[in-house]
Chain A
Amino acid sequence: MRYLPLTDADRSAMLNVIGAPSIDALFVDVPDGLHLDGPIAGLPLHASEMAVEKHMRRLSKKNLAAADAAFFCGAGAYRHHVPATVDHVIQRGEFLTAYTPYQPEIAQGTLQMLFEFQSQVARLYGCAVANASMYDGSTACWEAVAMAGRVTKRDRVVLSGALHPHYAETIRTMAKFTADEIADALPSIQGAPDIEGLIARIDDTTSCVVVQYPDILGRVFDLAPIAEAAHAKGALLIAVNTEPVALGAIRSPGEMGADIVVGEGQSIGVGLQFGGPYLGLFAVRDPKHVRQMPGRLCGETVDAEGKRGFVLTLSTREQHIRREKATSNICTNSGLCALAFTVHLTLLGEAGLRRLAAENHRLACLAADCLAQVPGVTVLNDAFFNEFTVMLPVDARTVVRTLADRKILAGVSLGRLFPGVEALSKGLVIAVTETTTEEDIEILCSALKEVLA
């Protein structure tokens, strides 16, 4: 077998050293009767590289790749162009086949990269400190809620109705087991989110308010009034961002007073990959909250010769030291995705990110204007970045399925996101990025015209 270097001669020489008659004899502690005597019956045997590749290619061909369609899906995962350099760097064996930098003397590559990553994320979010990443945006969001409970010693969580429903669902699942009380609502179908309604739900027992920015309908709005209201009641504001490219164009959540900023980093450097692995971003505005943060942190220090170096630090928060008293049970980060993010953001730089954001916004405005001309279609948003919601005269799920047959992936229907909520069933969330062409927009608008006629 091509991945196993031992020869039969090696095996018998080694068994001699051990003093065992066979490899099977090494499994002597497995109880009789439970030991499998040979390969499990009914399962295929080993296959060549060529055969496996062929099988996997056949499966991959059953999917409609975004590049082969007019593509408008977003809602927490965005299709951006990833420069070839990014994939080259993350496939270097020294990054790909390394592990958690437990031995910093021979892991400075990963550690320095993580320090750069943390610094980039903190700046993008308008925060003081970011960690070395979490599994994804939704789990980072839950961890932020758990952290707010530790900081405020309260257990009532107020969720904005326009938080990504998968994120809200993740929080609800965890809250069932931690006795946190969740106050939530459905998104209001209006041009702007119902900030006053949200603020009215904050009281003296609230640990945190969780608000997505831009929200699940793509709406952009000022977080400052929510931050003020939360702080006045002693609660924290958790801002959730699922499209980091937006922060090249709009104000950062930290700047507007969010205490914990979390989000999905997939947009920068990480492909769509059917939803994972992605990259959870986690940052705090006030450095005094650092010791309540979950996850790995990389910090600067010096070595025995006084040379600058980096290490994993403040690990007394973590499970391998604190066990049941840890701030989280998380034992990993999303290292390789963090590397992809950092390489892509280094290639972009401030100037590139702003230009990328400008191009996204320009095309999104173009698409919104074009769709507004389609009879029966209304654009909901007063303000947006690269994603907005349109209301159709019919169930949006049906329209999405019909258009998919024409190789148009028209967006994500609110029916898919909020199943069973009649009031939302005609909504369609449409994302437009630099990968969208003006021709794609034309194709979508004219197909919609036909389907709705």
Chain B
Amino acid sequence: MNAPNKSGWRPALNLDRRGGAGTATGNKALMLEEPLIFEIGTFETTGVDLPDVPDDFVGGANRLGGLARSTPIGLPGLSEPETVRHYTRLSRQNYAIDLGLFPLGSCTMKHNPRLNEKVARMPGFLDVHPLQPVDTVRGALEVINELAFWLIELTGMHGVAMTPKAGAHGELCGILCIRAALEAKGDAREVILVPESAHGTNPATAAFAGYRVENIPATSEGRVDLEALKARLGPDVAGVMITNPNTCGLFERDMKAISDAVHAVGGYVYCDGANFNAIVGRVRPGDLGVDAMHINLHKTFSTPHGGGGPGSGPVVLSEALSPYGPLPFTARRADGTVDLIEEENAGAEHPHTFGRMSAFHGQMGMFTRALAYILSHGADGLRQVSGDAVLNANYLLRSLDDVLDAPFGHSGPCMHEALFSDKEFAGGLSTLDLAKGMIDEGFHPMTMYFPLVVHGAMLVEPTETESKAGLDQLIVALRSLAERARAGDETLKNAPIHAPRRRLDETLAARKPVLAWSEPEVPGGPPTRSEQGGA
């Protein structure tokens, strides 16, 4: 602190609540406790040098139409060194790919190359406004167009909508294309079929787009039951949403037959491309009869997950759906220049578009990163990506299936992720306990309790960027934890014990939500602006 806290606020974190085991500060060497900015900052502190202009809008001359702010906002400031330290300390309470294996199934936590970060920060990409005249942003449009070309070629599809901002936004884009295509034929339909093993976003998306959702049953092998699906298909079915490879980690080997059956009744096939990482360069969704598929650039093409976004979810489209794709998009002209097709010129070039899904042109900062990644790997490298991802997952599956129940281990090789259940655990121990045990062993847990079709599901996705030595270490840890769980080792219920926090009370958080900082009660009421010693 280089400025006293004049606000009169008391930190909510007092020493006894920090509960330090034997230290006065609550810190434990490199494990450092850090208060909130609201507890250490003041209204007067700033870490930015700005011109010393009068900021008293209320009294001064201004053109704010009588709406000058007259009350404080309540934003604490820190000096630059304090800011760097605050966020550096917070960062050290996070697990991350840079620190170790992060086998979160279906999320594809692979290495994020730093070249991509460098490229995204080139001034010609970072410092360009989305509404500059088109002639001043031809390079940006070329990036979008070049990436679009790769996505179309890798998937064997006809077109691609680049603007969706994340996977779920891409799903919405695909379903809206299906809806628009059906409505253009005057064929309003009501139902979207979704397997029970699907990501929650699938049914949520279909419902958001006004469809009723019905489940598709699965076989004992963990794949879509083709015969049951065929029996349900009819003139009320707008389409199906199928994840391939599916969330049980298996390739839907009947995918082409599914597509043919859906097309035969006039419906469309949406493929959730969350798991495209497993098949890139091996098989093209277009050849499987898919009409629309989103691609999570942050999964297959390694743009950073950033603690939960931003994502990017371009949607590749079949010839049947391409005319309905959203605005804007890019088009390469005969002379090689790349144009932007937006509201103004769409009338002639793209008259059937369902419209715009968001402002501007999509997640440009993700496009530059994904393109740099794709160019680095090339067609040969991307094929090795899927090959190594699948190899790593099968290696884990076969190195663990004697100690962890693999419900679909009999269904042939898995794709990029291995699925286990808690079937053989004893003493009331659960998937959650094993997962928390992984934290103590220095790993991020796998995806827990998903897919819903497997009891106590554990979905492990190592990705292709892990070495054999790294996988062997994970296997040692998981075998040990599995043995403990099978033996009913109660101590697992206390895990984690070495993390910055023990298990957190999620029930309390939901029952009495505290979703924003508020000043603790101070005797004599809250401080006023003048008591804070304002400017």
Query: A and B: partners?
Result: yes
Question: Which 4 pairs show the lowest CB-CB distances between chains A and B?
Answer: A349-B77, A383-B65, A275-B360, A60-B124
Is B361 among interface residues, defined by CB-CB distance under 8 A?
yes
Is B478 among interface residues, defined by CB-CB distance under 8 A?
no
Is B45 among interface residues, defined by CB-CB distance under 8 A?
yes
Report whether B376 and A49 are in contact in the complex, using a CB–CB cutoff of 8 Å. Answer: yes
- Which of B119, B136, B444 contacts A64, CB < 8 Å? B136
Report whether A113 and B517 are in contact in the complex, using a CB–CB cutoff of 8 Å. Answer: no
Is A351 among interface residues, defined by CB-CB distance under 8 A?
yes
The A42-79 residues at the B interface (CB cut-off 8 A) are 42-47, 49, 51-53, 55-68, 71, 73, 75-77, 79
Report whether A248 and B73 are in contact in the complex, using a CB–CB cutoff of 8 Å. Answer: yes
CB closest chain-A residue, reference B413: A26
Bitwise interface map of B from 80 to 98 toward A, beta carbon under 8 Å scored 1, else 0: 1001101110111111111
Known: A59-B143, A272-B126, A353-B73. A116 touches B38 (CB 8 A): yes
Instruction: Tell me how far the C-beta of A272 lies from the nearest C-beta in chain B, rounded to whole angstroms.
Output: 5
Return chain A residues, CB-CB under 8 Å to B44: 349-351
Q: How far is the CA of A99 from the CA of B55 in the complex (A)?
A: 39
Instruction: Tell me how far the C-beta of B364 lies from the nearest C-beta in chain A, rounded to whole angstroms.
Output: 4
Apart from A49-B115, A349-B75: 6 A-B pairs, beta carbons within 8 A: A36-B283, A39-B281, A112-B34, A119-B36, A303-B501, A356-B48
Stretch at the interface among B229-237, B315-323, B381-389, B419-427: B381-389
Report whether A177 and B179 are in contact in the complex, using a CB–CB cutoff of 8 Å. Answer: yes
Q: How far is the CA of A412 from the CA of B136 in the complex (A)?
A: 13
Return chain B residues, CB-CB under 8 Å to A248: 69, 73
Instruction: Tell me how far the C-beta of A374 lies from the nearest C-beta in chain B, rounded to whole angstroms.
Output: 18
Question: Can you list 12 contacts pairing A with B, beta carbon distance less than 8 Å?
Answer: A26-B387, A44-B375, A63-B124, A63-B139, A77-B131, A85-B47, A96-B117, A98-B305, A273-B126, A299-B514, A346-B77, A354-B55
The A256-277 residues at the B interface (CB cut-off 8 A) are 264, 271-277
The B331-374 residues at the A interface (CB cut-off 8 A) are 343-344, 354-366, 368, 371-372
Known: A346-B41, A409-B129. A95 touches B306 (CB 8 A): yes
Is A301 among interface residues, defined by CB-CB distance under 8 A?
yes
Is A229 among interface residues, defined by CB-CB distance under 8 A?
no
Bitwise interface map of A from 348 to 378 toward B, beta carbon under 8 Å scored 1, else 0: 1111111111110110010010000000000
Stretch at the interface among B262-270, B391-399, B479-487: B391-399
Instruction: Tell me how far the C-beta of B535 lies from the nearest C-beta in chain A, rounded to whole angstroms.
Output: 7
Stretch at the interface among A127-135, A197-205, A443-451: A127-135
Instruction: Tell me how far the C-beta of A48 lies from the nearest C-beta in chain B, rounded to whole angstroms.
Output: 8
Report whether A14 and B135 are in contact in the complex, using a CB–CB cutoff of 8 Å. Answer: no
Report whether A40 and B153 are in contact in the complex, using a CB–CB cutoff of 8 Å. Answer: yes
Return chain B residues, CB-CB under 8 Å to A453: none
Report whether A6 and B365 are in contact in the complex, using a CB–CB cutoff of 8 Å. Answer: no
Instruction: Tell me how far the C-beta of A147 lies from the nearest C-beta in chain B, rounded to whole angstroms.
Output: 12
Instruction: Tell me how far the C-beta of B377 lies from the nearest C-beta in chain A, rounded to whole angstroms.
Output: 6
The B263-318 residues at the A interface (CB cut-off 8 A) are 279, 281-284, 287-288, 302, 304-312
Report whether A332 and B96 are in contact in the complex, using a CB–CB cutoff of 8 Å. Answer: no
Report whether A29 and B412 are in contact in the complex, using a CB–CB cutoff of 8 Å. Answer: yes
Report whether B309 and A336 are in contact in the complex, using a CB–CB cutoff of 8 Å. Answer: yes
Q: How far is the CA of A368 from the CA of B308 in the complex (A)?
A: 41
Instruction: Tell me how far the C-beta of B346 lies from the nearest C-beta in chain A, rounded to whole angstroms.
Output: 9
- Which of A25, A65, A271, A311 contacts B504, CB < 8 Å? A311
Return chain A residues, CB-CB under 8 Å to B123: 60, 65, 67-68
Bitwise interface map of B from 426 to 451 toward A, beta carbon under 8 Å scored 1, else 0: 00000000011001000011010010
Is B505 among interface residues, defined by CB-CB distance under 8 A?
yes
CB closest chain-A residue, reference B354: A173
Instruction: Tell me how far the C-beta of A377 lies from the nearest C-beta in chain B, rounded to whole angstroms.
Output: 17
Is A105 among interface residues, defined by CB-CB distance under 8 A?
yes
Report whether A301 and B77 are in contact in the complex, using a CB–CB cutoff of 8 Å. Answer: no
Is B54 among interface residues, defined by CB-CB distance under 8 A?
yes
Return chain A residues, CB-CB under 8 Å to B383: 36, 38-39
| Number of chain B residues close to chain A: CB under 8 A | 210
Report whether B505 and A303 are in contact in the complex, using a CB–CB cutoff of 8 Å. Answer: yes
Report whether B133 and A383 are in contact in the complex, using a CB–CB cutoff of 8 Å. Answer: no
Is A228 among interface residues, defined by CB-CB distance under 8 A?
no
CB closest chain-A residue, reference B475: A17
Return chain B residues, CB-CB under 8 Å to A209: none
Is B256 among interface residues, defined by CB-CB distance under 8 A?
yes
Report whether A105 and B504 are in contact in the complex, using a CB–CB cutoff of 8 Å. Answer: yes
Is A292 among interface residues, defined by CB-CB distance under 8 A?
no
| Number of chain A residues close to chain B: CB under 8 A | 216
Report whether B169 and A349 are in contact in the complex, using a CB–CB cutoff of 8 Å. Answer: no
Report whether B445 and A119 are in contact in the complex, using a CB–CB cutoff of 8 Å. Answer: no
Q: How far is the CA of A103 from the CA of B504 in the complex (A)?
A: 10
Report whether B513 and A290 are in contact in the complex, using a CB–CB cutoff of 8 Å. Answer: yes
Return chain B residues, CB-CB under 8 Å to A247: 69, 73
Instruction: Tell me how far the C-beta of B170 lies from the nearest C-beta in chain A, rounded to whole angstroms.
Output: 11
Report whether A346 and B86 are in contact in the complex, using a CB–CB cutoff of 8 Å. Answer: yes
Q: How far is the CA of A146 from the CA of B205 in the complex (A)?
A: 13
Known: A123-B74, A220-B67, A336-B304. A60 touches B139 (CB 8 A): yes
Known: A4-B384, A85-B80, A135-B165. A67 touches B127 (CB 8 A): yes
Q: How far is the CA of A179 from the CA of B209 in the complex (A)?
A: 10
Report whether A135 and B282 are in contact in the complex, using a CB–CB cutoff of 8 Å. Answer: no
Report whether B376 and A46 are in contact in the complex, using a CB–CB cutoff of 8 Å. Answer: yes
Is A89 among interface residues, defined by CB-CB distance under 8 A?
yes
Report whether B67 and A222 are in contact in the complex, using a CB–CB cutoff of 8 Å. Answer: yes
Known: A10-B467, A345-B75. A277 touches B96 (CB 8 A): no
Bitwise interface map of B from 164 to 191 toward A, beta carbon under 8 Å scored 1, else 0: 0111110110001001000000000000
Report whether A100 and B343 are in contact in the complex, using a CB–CB cutoff of 8 Å. Answer: no
CB closest chain-B residue, reference A122: B516
Is B64 among interface residues, defined by CB-CB distance under 8 A?
yes
Is A145 among interface residues, defined by CB-CB distance under 8 A?
no
Bitwise interface map of B from 8 to 38 toward A, beta carbon under 8 Å scored 1, else 0: 0000110001110000000000000010111
- Which of A62, A220, A314, A329 contacts B124, CB < 8 Å? A62
Is A233 among interface residues, defined by CB-CB distance under 8 A?
no
Return chain A residues, CB-CB under 8 Å to B513: 290, 297, 299, 313-314
Bitwise interface map of A from 1 to 44 toward B, beta carbon under 8 Å scored 1, else 0: 11111100011011101111001111111110011101110111
- Which of A29, A63, A75, A93 contacts B96, CB < 8 Å? A93
CB closest chain-A residue, reference B62: A361
Known: A31-B253, A329-B208. A349 touches B509 (CB 8 A): no
